[in-house]
Structure 1
Amino acid sequence: MLLEVQHVRKEFQNRTLALTDASFSVSQGDFVSVIGPSGAGKTTLFRILNGSLRCDGGAILVNGVHFESADRRTRRAIQTTIGTIYQDFALVENATCRQNVLNACLPDMAFLPAVCGFFGKERVAEADALLERVGLADKVHEPVKNLSGGQKQRVAIARALMRHPALLLADEPVASLDPVTGRQILELLRDIQQDQKLTVLMNSHNLELSQEFSSRLIGLNQGTVVLDAPADTPAKEILAAVYHRQEDQP
C-alpha cells in the first residue's frame, strides 16, 4: 500500500477541530478524489500529507514507513516522493516557466549552486522536456506572469513532476479555471498519471469531474471519512452520504 491514513486528527490553536478521525488507504497507480463541503478538512489533510503540517494524533504511512514519527532524514526522503499542485499555482510570477520548474530542485541542492541558480545541463534539459510534455514547449523562456491560468497550472504540473513523485497531491487544481480549461488540465493530469503509473490524490468540490476522472472517492465531512466508494457510485448516494443532500447536483 503506497499511502495509509490511520485515524488522523488535527486541532488548531483556536480549538478548531479540522480532522477528527480520518482513515483510508491508497494503492500505487490509483486516481482518488477527496470530496466534501467547505470546512470538511480536505486542505488540512493535504497539508499533513505533504509535510507542511503535523497531525495531533493517528499515523501517516508511506510505503509502510511512519511519516510523522520518522527521523528528519527519513521524513525528508519521504517528502521527496510527494509532489503537490495548488489551486493558486504557487509560482514565481516574474520568473520564466523553465525557472519555475527548476525551482523544484532547490531543496536537494547545495547552498551555493541553489543561490546562484546553477542547475546543470541535465536538470535544464529535463525541465524543458517536462514543459514540452504539458504542452508548453514554446513558453520555456516566457515569464509566468504572461501566461493564462490554464498555462500556469501546466507549469505547476511540470514543476511537481520534476520531483519524480510517486504520489501527486492535487489540491483543487481546476477550481480557479473555467470549465473548458479545467477539463483540459484534468485530462492532462490523468494522461500523465496513466503513462507514468503515478498515484494521484485530488481534492475537489466538483462531484461530476471527480466521478469522471477518478476511480475512487473519499468523502470527508466534519473531519471524518464518511464515504469510501467507487467513483461510479450513484450521485444521489454520494450526496446523501457526504453532503447530507438528496438533490441530483451538489
Structure 2
Amino acid sequence: METVFELSEAHKSFGAVHALSSIDLQITKGERVALIGASGSGKTTLLRLLGAQLAPDRGDVRVLSCNPLGLGEGKLRELRSRLGYLPQDLGLVPNLRVLQNVAAGRCGRRSILGSLRDLILPAGGVRRRIYELLERVGIEEKIYDRVDTLSGGQQQRVAVARALFQEPAVLLADEPVSAVDPARARDVLELLTRLCEEEGLTLLVSMHQLDLAREFFPRLVGLKHGKVHFDGASSDLGSEALSALFQLGDKAPDS
C-alpha cells in the first residue's frame, strides 16, 4: 500500500512546552484514522504537522512522499493544495457568498490572476463543479447565499465542499464534531466518511468522542501528553488503554 504519511522520532515544542515527543506513525492511502485523546494531548499539533503547516523541531516527516522541510515556497504550496484541511473554526469568509468560499479552495493551485477571477466571477465550469459539490453535501440551494446567513451545520458543509474542491489526496479534519450535539456529530462523520470513500481519499480526524471514533474509524491513534499511547484497531482499544488516555486530572501542553 502507498504510504501517505510517515513520521519518525518527530518532536515539536513551543518554547519550553513539549507538544509532541518521539512520534512514530505511518498512514497508508485510503485509511480512515481518528486521533483521539483528552484536550491538550497533542492532537491538533500532530494534525498540523501532517498537514505541512508546522515543521518538526527534530525527526523526519514525510507527507505524500515529500519532506516539507526540503521544499521551496512554490512546491510547499503545491503540496498543501493536495491536503484538504478543515480547521476547527472552519476558516470561512462570512461576508462572501457560498460560491466564493468554495472557490477559494483552489487558490493555492492557480495563478494569482486565476484565483482572483474564480473568486470574483467564477467561470461556468467552476460554477458547475461547485454546485455539484454543494449538491453532494446537501446545500446546493445555498450557493448564492452569504455564509453569515447560514446555520453552523450548513457552514460546516460549505467548508467540506471547499476542501473537496481542492481535489485533495487527503482530508484532515480538526475536531469537526467538538461543538455539536450527538445527532449532528453523527451526521457530520457520516458525511465525511461517505465522501472520502466515494473520492478514494485518506481521512484523518482529531476528536475526543471515543464512542463516535470507534463507530466511524477502523484505526485509532491515542495521544497523551504529546506521545502515542495506542495505535491499532478500534476494536482492540481496551479499558486499560482508555484509562491511560483519559485519566482525570491529567494536564498536557497542547490540544
* Residue in structure 2 matched with residue 86 of structure 1 by the alignment: 87
1:197-208 aligned within 5 A: 197-208=200-211
* Residue in structure 1 matched with residue 196 of structure 2 by the alignment: 193
* Residue in structure 2 matched with residue 217 of structure 1 by the alignment: 220
Alignment of 1:6 with 2:3, yes or no, is no
Could you say what the CA RMSD is over the residues aligned between the two structures, in angstroms? 1.7
Deviation per CA, 1:163-202, whole angstroms, max 9, x where unpaired?
Answer: 1111110100011122211111110111111111110010
* Residue in structure 2 matched with residue 146 of structure 1 by the alignment: 149
Given that 1:97 and 1:139 are in contact with CA atoms closer than 8 Å, whether structure 2 keeps it comes out as yes
Q: Percent of aligned positions with the same letter in both sequences? A: 36
Tell me the SS of whatever aligns to 1:45: helix
Q: Segments of 4+ in structure 1 off by > 6 A?
A: none
Q: So what's the TM-score if we normalise by structure 2? A: 0.90
Given that 1:59 and 1:68 are in contact with CA atoms closer than 8 Å, whether structure 2 keeps it comes out as no
Instruction: Return the alpha-carbon distance in structure 2 between the equivalents of residues 149 and 235 of structure 1.
Output: 34
* Residue in structure 1 matched with residue 235 of structure 2 by the alignment: 232
Instruction: Return the alpha-carbon distance in structure 2 between the equivalents of residues 111 and 71 of structure 1.
Output: 18
Instruction: Return the alpha-carbon distance in structure 2 between the equivalents of residues 114 and 77 of structure 1.
Output: 14
* Residue in structure 2 matched with residue 29 of structure 1 by the alignment: 30
Give, as a single letter, the amino acid of the residue that structure 1 aligns with 2:198: D
* Residues 113 and 198 of structure 1: CA distance in aligned 2, closer, same or farther (over 3 Å): closer
Give, as a single letter, the amino acid of the residue that structure 1 aligns with 2:25: F
State the shift of 1:236 in Å: 1.5
Deviation per CA, 1:185-222, whole angstroms, max 9, x where unpaired?
Answer: 11011111111111001000100101100010001111
**Gaps in structure 1 of 5+ consecutive residues:** 246-250
Tell me the SS of whatever aligns to 2:70: coil
Deviation per CA, 1:127-181, whole angstroms, max 9, x where unpaired?
Answer: 1111111001111111111111111111110000011111110100011122211
Q: So what's the TM-score if we normalise by structure 1? A: 0.91
Give, as a single letter, the amino acid of the residue that structure 2 aligns with 1:79: R
Instruction: Return the alpha-carbon distance in structure 2 between the equivalents of residues 170 and 233 of structure 1.
Output: 23
Tell me the SS of whatever aligns to 1:55: coil
Count how many residue pairs are aligned between Structure 1 and Structure 2: 244
Alignment of 1:55 with 2:56, yes or no, is yes
Tell me the SS of whatever aligns to 2:245: helix
* Residue in structure 1 matched with residue 103 of structure 2 by the alignment: 102
* Residue in structure 1 matched with residue 253 of structure 2 by the alignment: none
Give, as a single letter, the amino acid of the residue that structure 1 aligns with 2:178: A
State the shift of 1:224 in Å: 1.0
Give, as a single letter, the amino acid of the residue that structure 2 aligns with 1:98: L
1:68-83 aligned within 5 A: 68-83=69-84
Instruction: Return the alpha-carbon distance in structure 2 between the equivalents of residues 52 and 62 of structure 1.
Output: 11
